[in-house]
Chains A and B, each alone.
Chain A
Amino acid sequence: DQQVKQNSPSLSVQEGRISILNCDYTNSMFDYFLWYKKYPAEGPTFLISISSIKDKNEDGRFTVFLNKSAKHLSLHIVPSQPGDSAVYFCAASGGNDYKLSFGAGTTVTVRA
């Protein structure tokens, strides 16, 4: 049973606008969350993370928001650029288990 869910398989956004990617989790022991970005034929690359003691973390154009009560996190990309077109994976870990659980990914397409 998948503990991390990305319910939107794809997202299309115009260049310069905001991209919002969503992720839900079911395991209340998760306390560390990450977003990875993946281009075709390459490995995932780390984008941004957040621990459960925070509700927001920002790095340049990328901001991750965490809502622990709703077991929900989101990634905001502002402004979206053509190079942001990629697959984005949400991942989580926590408790005594340091292994990462991944969502199925969301494919973002930034239109010119």
Chain B
Amino acid sequence: DAGITQSPRHKVTETGTPVTLRCHQTENHRYMYWYRQDPGHGLRLIHYSYGVKDTDKGEVSDGYSVSRSKTEDFLLTLESATSSQTSVYFCAISEREGRETQYFGPGTRLLVL
């Protein structure tokens, strides 16, 4: 199994509060991704990173920001959480771009009340 951890694994928060989710990898892979999983939608890409301090938006990036100051850590921040951001969040990594398998972390279940 790829060495990917996510923290916290579960979080309950209130609308309007900031939330930061952390993804940590021990594989030294260049590419890291944040997805959310919702019923009927599969996994949708929020943001991704192609190197330290190099990030870009995915298809559902509104309301989210990311940072990557070290190869091993990729942070996802909800600046002001809303109920529509209740979801399961997955981090993924890949060694290269292109036709490359992504490996996923265990997920963070977030509930915004």
A positions within 8 Å CB-CB of B: 2, 4, 6, 31-32, 34, 36, 41-46, 49, 51, 89, 91, 93-94, 98-100, 102-105
Contacts and interface: CB of A to CB of B under 8 A. Distances in A.
Contacts of B106: 41-43
B74 interface: no
B112 interface: no
Interface of B: 4, 33, 40-45, 48, 58, 90, 97-107
B97 A98 contact: yes
29 contacts: A2-B42, A4-B42, A6-B42, A32-B99, A41-B107, A42-B106, A43-B4, A43-B106, A43-B107, A44-B43, A44-B104, A46-B101, A49-B101, A89-B42, A89-B43, A93-B98, A94-B99, A98-B99, A99-B45, A99-B48, A99-B58, A100-B43, A100-B45, A100-B102, A102-B42, A102-B44, A103-B42, A104-B41, A104-B42
A93 B100 CA distance: 9
Interface of A is mostly: strand
Contacts of A2: 41-42
A-B interface, 3 closest residue pairs, ranked by CB to CB distance from nearest: A43-B104, A32-B99, A102-B42
A29 to B, nearest CB: 12
B99 A104 contact: no
Nearest to A100: B102
B43 A102 contact: yes
A25 B36 CA distance: 21
Contact of B90 (A44, A49, A93): A44
B16 to A, nearest CB: 28
B105 A43 contact: yes
Contacts of A6: 42
Contacts of A36: 104
Q: Give the one of A43, A45, A103 with max B CB within 10 A.
A: A43
A105 B42 contact: yes
Nearest to A31: B99
